[in-house]
Amino acid sequence: MPNDPILVVVFLRGGADGLNLISPTADVDYIAARPDAMRVLRKGDEAGYAMADMAADVDFRFHPQARGLSELYNAGELAVIHASGLTDGTRSHFDAEAKMERAAVNGSAGGWLGRWFASQQSDGILPLLSAGAAPDSVRGARDVAVADALEDLILANGHELAPIVRQRLMQGFGQHPLIGAPIQRLVQLSSTLRGRIVNTDGEAINYVPSVDYPEGPLAESFKTIARTIKLDLGLRVATLDFGGWDTHEEQTASFGGNVDALSAGLMAFWQDIGAEAERVNVVVMSEFGRRLRANTSGGTDHGYGNAMMVLGAGVKGGQMLGEWPGLANDALDDRADLAITTDYRHVLASVMRQHMRADNIADLFPAFAPDPMGLYA
């Protein structure tokens, strides 16, 4: 339906350093643990973006490449949940991602988004879009479209699908007891997209966004999602992955560029969708954070606690939620990592209940009692 809420989930693959993205710049333990180049500073040309209403003795700031995130936060549209993550943590990328995306005890089928989709009756032609690759969170969902661009979902792209081929697909494979329904939906989706983004000469109609996007694959994914929303294809959930956050060595060489791509891409997307933003929420998350102390290779190793962000309609933005545990040695998890004070499922459950209007939270997050958190007004 045109007014249905939409969720976009951005997963930062590799374990993003939340302490470098959103930093307690005045914390003496933070300052002692890292060289200047691996910290967000309070003064000078490379100072981070101050966050309104933050305690002076901590002085949280966004990374200096996170201008867009800072603007969204200070505009009251973006909320930060620091010291969040997996409470039964692991330093394995594979295990942490699997736990987060399944969000369930052993034996529960599918991913948390897949379980939600299994409970929905969607009339849209493209309810679920995974840009690039389908994450485990959507496992179990019936209608997953995986594409970098909408043109990739058109059968025989560049050529009209012959009526006889369409007929044979629908009457042959389309009647198969296992793959019949997906084939029928694919043919229908292809036909609908051809009618909307291909001209009468068979040429793709270039998408012209309302703002300039930065260069790079992440921005292209954001642009594809914005286009999908504007085409009114019934999108309910979009997922996209952004890798390159596993910064064991020379963290400063890549981290700032990644932050800039995330921040500028998200801001462009938000501006591009215009009035549609009233029904969109964006969640940004990663499988784990990095250790407090820099290693000898100019990087940071796998840690636990991290920062999540939620942007969008109804969100009580411009604030940091959850309890900040501090970075004193006795406050760290295993005397090495930012301790987790907010289970990531509290955040996701709030988004699904308050924004997506889910009434089956116990199915999405089995054996878990979520806290409302105050994320929404």
CATH of the domain at 85: 3.40.720.10
Between 251 and 203, whose confidence is greater? 251
Q: What is the pLDDT of residue 181?
A: 67
Which pLDDT band, with edges at 50, 70 and 90, does 326 fall under? very high
Provide the pLDDT confidence category of residue 76 given band limits of 50, 70 and 90.
Answer: very high
- Token pair 């389309």 is found at 174
Of all helices (H) and strands (E), which one includes residue 130?
A: strand 128-131
With residues binned 3-state (H G I as helix, E B as strand, rest as coil), the percentages for the chain, rounded to 5, are 35, 15, 45
183 in any annotated domain: no
* pLDDT for position 317: 96
Q: Which residues make Cβ contacts (< 8 Å) with residue 311, sequence separation at least 6?
A: 72, 77, 78, 79, 266, 270, 281, 282, 284, 317
Whether 160 maps to a domain, the answer reads no
Q: Is residue 138 part of a domain?
A: yes
Percent of the chain with pLDDT over 90: 78
- How large is the average pLDDT for residues 216-228? 98
184 lies in a domain? no
Which residues, 6+ apart, have CB-to-CB distance to 362 below 8 Å?
none
Residue 166 lies in a domain: no
Residue 68 pLDDT exceeds 90? yes
Q: What angle do CA 316, 318, 324 make, to 5 degrees?
A: 95
198 within some domain: no
The pLDDT tens digits for 274-301 are: 999 999 999 999 999 999 999 999 999 9
State the pLDDT at residue 89.
78
Copy the structure tokens of residue 118: 């299994």
pLDDT digits (tens, 9 = 90+) for 166-199: 555 555 554 556 555 666 777 788 888 988 998 8
pLDDT of residue 372: 87
**Mean pLDDT, range 86-104, rounded to an integer:** 93
What pLDDT, on a 0 to 100 scale, did the predictor assign at position 55?
64
What confidence score (pLDDT) does residue 164 get? Answer: 43
Per-residue pLDDT at 104: 80
Averaged pLDDT for residues 69-91: 95
The tokens of 88 are what? 């039964």
Quote the number of domains for the chain. 1
Separation between Cα atoms, residue 288 and residue 292, nearest integer Å: 12
Burial class for 206, CB neighbours closer than 10 Å (0-12, 13-18, 19+): exposed
**Is residue 163 over pLDDT 90?**
no
> Angle 251-272/67-74 helices, nearest 10 degrees?
50
Distances (CA, A) of 245 to 18, 193, 240, 365: 10, 34, 15, 27
Name the amino acid, one letter, at 219: A
Q: Can you tell me the distance from the alpha carbon of 237 to that of 6, in angstroms, rounded to the nearest whole number?
A: 6
pLDDT, residue 142, reads 82
Tell me what pLDDT residue 202 has: 76
The residues near 168 (Cβ < 8 Å, ≥ 6 apart) are: none
Span 157-173, mean pLDDT? 50
- Residue, of 187 and 4, whose pLDDT is higher: 4
Question: Residue 368, class by beta-carbon neighbours within 10 Å (0-12 exposed, 13-18 middle, 19+ buried)?
Answer: middle
By the 8 A CB rule, do 303 and 40 touch?
no
- What does the pLDDT read at residue 253? 97
Full domain range(s) for residue 72: 6-149+215-364
Q: Is the per-residue pLDDT at 160 higher than 70?
A: no
Amino acid at 138: V
Instruction: Give a yes or no: residue 162 inside a domain.
Output: no
* Domain-embedded: residue 307: yes
Helix residue spans in the chain (DSSP H): 18-21, 28-33, 67-74, 93-102, 112-118, 163-171, 180-197, 217-230, 251-272, 344-350, 361-364
Q: What is the mean pLDDT of the chain?
A: 91
pLDDT (0 to 100) of residue 158: 46
